[in-house]
A and B are shown apart, each in its own frame.
Chain A
Amino acid sequence: MELLRQAPSRNPKEVLTFALLVLLGAVTLLTTLGVVLSLLGDVVEFFRRVPLTEFLFAPEWTPLFAEPRYGIAPLIAGTLLVTAIALTVAIPLGLALAIYISELAPHRVRARVMGILELFEGIPTVVLGYFALLTVTPFLQKFIPGLQIFNPLSAGLVMGFAIIPYVSNVAADAMQSVPRAIREAAYALGARPYEVALRVVFPAAISGIIAAIILATSRAIGETMIVAIAAGQRPTLTLDPRETIATMTSFIVQAATGDQPAGSTASLALFAVGATLFLMTLGLNILAQYVVERYRERYE
């Protein structure tokens, strides 16, 4: 009978299509491989010339001096300083918005708020860096004595606002996935909306909220243009947010736009710092995923 003879799914087009799609999917895997490999070669070469102990523990990063020192501490300190300032802004504001979006906003308002946040995500960081350097810094200099033209404070503040959407989106998602039943139980016991939000939903979604914070930290660490423009490119080991510093990312930009010959240690340092940056952000991302997996309440 006909049925036995027809076999449309065995048409070679089917297999070819599937194979093509797998190939395209494999590109993403190759990308990851590429990231790792591209860093590897130069990093290995760098560490042949510069001992790991110096890299990790020396307090100076001066690749262009006659006697260059390659201690990454100042760069990390700079990065963390800016990040800390940014998070001080982004976390409270982002979480506040997240609670609002998830618990208190009427439906139509919610869509518009999320739209505005999406708008924020879309602002190019070059523009924000320009704003930090040319507008925020002069403004702050009126109130803060000793504030340098390039400083981590302005950069951190502006970055903080830029990161708010990342905090609020992930945190709002986490809070919205807390089942209605739990909220309703709390309301039924006579709790007011703000009590339900703070004492019931927030703790219930805490793993997602922590993940949001970790992810925001990762973003802040990897952010480049705002710091390259406004925070400075002078590696300094300091906790004072008024002093000019350099971050890992601002150094990478500086090194790439400078004219170091390709094989020199100074230009290899570029990749060493890049590798450090990559490891840090990767570590944080994996941590965030782990937190969500391990501590998520199962509401079956």
Chain B
Amino acid sequence: MSEPLLSKTQGGDPWKARIDRVFARALVLPLFLALALLSWLLLDTLYRSFSVQVVRSDVGLSQTFPLGTAWQEALKAALLQEGYTEEEAEAMLKDPKELRALLNQNRVELMWNTHEGPLRYVVTGSYDERVLDLPLLQGLRRWEELKAGLGEGERLVLNPWLDQTFLTRFPSRNPLIAGIGVAVVGTVWVLTLALLIAIPVGVGTAILLEEYLREGRLNRILEVNLRNLAGVPSIVYGLLGLAFFVREMGLGPTVLAAALTLALLGIPVITVTAREALRAVPESQRQAAFALGATRRQVVFRVVLPAALPGVVTGVILSAARLIGEAAPLLLVGAAAYVPFYPSGPLSEYTVIPVQIYLWVSQPQPEFARVAAAGILVMLLVLSGLYLAALYLRNRFRREW
């Protein structure tokens, strides 16, 4: 009697079966490695966005304020410490211009812990100096020791670098009061204008290639061209923007030049995703529309495009997410280093989030690494939001044809 069938299905060779199992597991390893690296990145960034600091206030104000204090109160205390009288301080706080200048130079921030207790406000001025900056765990371990050693006008704080004031403040040479607000607004401006151009061109090209010119010479030329454009490094688009939009057209380092450059970068991406969305609409839909006597234009715009719309929108959202993260081309087109004002229009100077982060990372002062960390957290949050929106759209509008 020959061996039972069961052992034959082991492939006859126990070694080989073992290899199979190891093989499959080994192949997935890269994924886990990559996820581990990503987690390392996130955790490290998060960790870096907190620090324990000893800060010396330039006006000697080491006072902290309890929760519930209006920020005007805190500012007034700072002004009084600086030497202004009650009346002068009140007047400054009431005058909008003075107030704005004040808020540029000072921040009222919530610290998670201070030498006067947890969850208190402090006023950070632009001439404040960081005496000591420690990583979170180290600082917490030495907390009592540091508290005891505080000098005149010094305060001890557990500083969350990503907080509300960070989101609204301008960039600054002093990392303690630097903020990402301007960059966020700049990103919105540039991205919106860029999409206004890129969406019609991208979707239009997609319609042209998928509905009107499915084959033929023009189709092949456009397709080859698109494929090449998609492979061009983004920095080369920056060169194009610099030479043409900034210099040749004389736009200078403005929002408009950036938007045009970014639009060119985004067009191949949007075209690809739009084409996929159009292709997903079954041919039978077009047949039905043609049989009812629709012209090609009517078939496309009354049947195909509406049916493909969720897919197109998802594609646009994903393209927008990619464009938000582009720094290199915008660096070339002049997203400037120090922009202490919100962009007022398409011809204004500006900066965008990834460029701002790059500039912070390039600064020598070590706290700018923390500012950068906070900025990265903001950017990742924005991107996550976009990806979730795209995911939601994709699932909600998944059609069973």
Contacts and interface: CB of A to CB of B under 8 A. Distances in A.
Nearest to B19: A194
Contacts of A224: 233-235, 327-328
Interface string A117-129: 1011011111111
A282 B228 CA distance: 7
Contact of B236 (A120, A127, A277): A277
Contacts of B380: 127
B379 interface: yes
User: Helix, strand, loop or mixed for chain A's interface?
Assistant: helix
Contact of B207 (A21, A125, A131, A252): A21
A119 B386 CA distance: 12
Interface residues of A, number: 84
A228 interface: yes
B235 A28 contact: no
Interface residues of B, number: 86
A32 B229 contact: yes
Most chain B CB inside 10 Å of its own CB: which residue of A126, A135, A252: A126
A27 B225 CA distance: 11
Contacts, number: 243
Contacts of A277: 233, 235-236
Interface in B6-55: 11, 16-17, 19-20, 23-24, 26-31, 33-35, 37-38, 40-41, 44-45, 48
Contacts of B268: 28
B275 to A, nearest CB: 12
A222 B228 CA distance: 14
Contact of A29 (B37, B221, B376): B221
A8 interface: yes
B296 interface: yes
B369 interface: yes
Contacts of B200: 24
Interface in A129-147: 129-131, 133-135
A130 B361 contact: yes
A78 B19 CA distance: 40
A125 B232 contact: no
Interface of A: 8-9, 11, 13-14, 17-18, 20-22, 24-25, 27-29, 31-32, 34-35, 37-39, 41-42, 92-94, 96-97, 99-100, 104, 113, 116-117, 119-120, 122-131, 133-135, 161, 164, 190, 192-195, 197, 215, 218-219, 221-225, 228-229, 249, 252-253, 256-257, 262, 270-271, 274, 277-278, 281-282, 285-286, 289
Given A100-B31, A122-B322, 18 more contacts: A20-B204, A21-B204, A28-B205, A32-B228, A38-B243, A39-B239, A104-B23, A120-B38, A122-B387, A126-B357, A127-B45, A190-B11, A219-B233, A224-B234, A225-B358, A229-B358, A281-B233, A281-B236
